[in-house]
Amino acid sequence: MRQHSNCVGEMTIIVLSLLLALCYASPRQERRFPDDFLFGAATASYQIEGGWNADGKGENIWDRMTHTNPDVIKDKSNGDKAANSYNNYARDVEMMRELGLNAYRFSISWARILPNGLANQINEPGVEFYNNYINEMLKYNITPMVTLYHWDLPQKIQDLGGFLSPLFPEWFEDYARIVFQRFGDRVKHWITFNEPCEICFEGYGSSAKAPILNATDVGTYMCAKQLVIAHARAYHAYDKDYRSDQGGVCGITISVNWYGPLTDSEEDKFAAEILRQAKWGIYAEPIFSEQGGFPKEFVERVAKNSEEQGYPRSRMPEFSPEEIELVRGSADFFGVNHYTAVLISATEHKHWFPVSSLYADADVGMYTLPEWASSASDWLTFAPNSLLNSLSHLRNKYKDAVFYITENGWSQAGAGLEDDDRISYYRSALNNVLDSLEAGIKLKGYMAWSLLDNFEWMQGYTERFGLYEVDFESSEKTRTPRKSAFIYKEIIRSRTIDPEYEPPTRTMWIDEGH
């Protein structure tokens, strides 16, 4: 009996081993992106177009700053020529075809359409340029996704107060209406503003972006209110006067990096929430929340700090009941620009900031783990599952929201076609996209940043985000695909992520049928 029992036991082990072997040997089920999921790439007008004063274009705040104060740019460069997409737009569309993109997100230069920013003078050559660009995309079934404002404010508008002027929402609506009128018969995806925090905090509340106003105490919050009201006015203009004929959607793009607690303590969890409110909540809450207005906890913190600092009222302005109603619900989708993560502490890893400023109001510590890989950008590290964490948080907060990833990418220092770090980053992020889709998040598309190397703002041309390398020294601004371009092309073609895929060649190509 003992011997028979052993045989049965051994046979059971063999059968189980065979079953396990079959399980591991069988190919795992591939996760696929939906057929209607939009794969694209993104750029911004000042960063790629060049032609800074061509054919009637007006001066913008980056033209003024880089020409009068070039030392603020790391390599003292500017966007006067950039990648010269003003003359190379057909080549850019050819690159989109090479990649097999479904969509392309780009921005319109306000000053190229309205040279002085005001609606009394329309620059027809500027309109013609964007018409040609859009038509070239549509010829090859590439969906244009247009951003009305990506940081390049007309200098005349800045001279009149820029985002701090009470008339700014009116001026922006005038501009938006002209763009809707001229391009809305073909453009069905509109984004009003790109990254409000970077506009308001970095441009008005510090010196990290043009116009480097550095109004640290009130600039960020005054700008925030004016911006979301301007967004709402443009949205309602589209909804009331253009949507029925043009049939498009209009949203906003907000930078949502993941701010998670350093520990599981309630203090760190609250500190992370405060920074989320400070960095993106003051723009998202007025539009997407049920109650509207600025986020409650951060409003209370700024008011308390303002009183202690001797201000007669809070440095954060209030919304009137009418303004709350105007802004609340004024978006068809939430565009998410996501790159990285930072861990937040209530007590540790704090740095000095100007007393009356956004970071001082938040009063939290920030930390990145040393094992997270670093890019060429000091703010960008490879934090696992940061995109999934961000999207999950947003979905839980704004339950009916539709999302697009409108930027996501990785920087390298200088030229080079072999970019395995970028490939690892993209594969990880796109696996997070699949995770999000499987979790039921209403995510409709993904735009890689960037289609090609560009003028990277204060870093000039020292940091490169492009799927295509640009030879900025050549008169043609020659574009060459990096290894990541081939990887992204295969993901789009197959609608899957193969971690083992290696492109067979590194030569220029155009597939049949494109």
Three-state secondary structure string covering 16-42: HHHHHHHHHHCCCCCCCCCCCCEEEEE
Yes or no: say if 271 and 261 are a contact pair by the CB < 8 Å rule.
yes
Q: Looking at 407, 456, 463, 469, which residue is catalytic?
A: 407
Q: Position 197: which residue type?
A: C
Catalytic residue among 49, 59, 136, 195: 195
For residue 493, give every residue at least 6 positions away whose Cβ sits within 8 Å of its Cβ, in sequence order, or none.
100
Q: Where are the alpha helices (DSSP H) in 242-279?
A: 243-246, 266-276
d(CA 184, CA 364): 44
The question of whether 407 is a catalytic residue gets the answer: yes
Question: How is residue 142 annotated by DSSP?
Answer: P
Quote the tokens at residue 271: 């500190």
Structure-token pair, residue 265 = 């303590």
Where are the chain's structural domains?
A: 32-494
Give the pLDDT of the chain (514 residues) as one tens digit per residue. Answer: 334 334 333 333 333 343 333 333 334 468 999 999 999 999 999 999 999 999 999 999 999 999 999 999 999 999 999 999 999 999 999 999 999 999 999 999 999 999 999 999 999 999 999 999 999 999 999 999 999 999 999 999 999 999 999 999 999 999 999 999 999 999 999 999 999 999 999 999 999 999 999 999 999 999 999 999 999 999 999 999 999 999 999 999 999 999 999 999 999 999 999 999 999 999 999 999 999 999 999 999 999 999 999 999 999 999 999 999 999 999 999 999 999 999 999 999 999 999 999 999 999 999 999 999 999 999 999 999 999 999 999 999 999 999 999 999 999 999 999 999 999 999 999 999 999 999 999 999 999 999 999 999 999 999 999 999 999 999 999 999 999 999 999 999 999 999 999 998 655 444 433 3
Instruction: Give the end-to-end CA distance of the chain in Å, rounded to a whole number.
Output: 73
Residue 323: CB partners within 8 Å, gap ≥ 6? 225, 229
- In order of 187, 232, 241, 394, the CA distances from 247 in angstroms are 9, 18, 11, 26
**How far is the C-alpha of 112 from the C-alpha of 45, rounded, in Å?**
10
Whether the CB-CB separation of 41 and 449 falls below 8 Å is answered with: yes
pTM of the model: 0.93
Residue 42 in 3-state DSSP? strand
* Contact residues for 184 (Cβ-Cβ < 8 A; gap 6+): 190, 238, 242, 246, 248
* 195 noted as active-site residue: yes
| Assigned CATH class of 32-494 | alpha beta
Alpha helices in 26-139 (DSSP H): 45-48, 61-68, 85-99, 110-113, 124-139
If residue 448 lies in a helix (H) or strand (E), which one and from where to where? Answer: strand 443-449
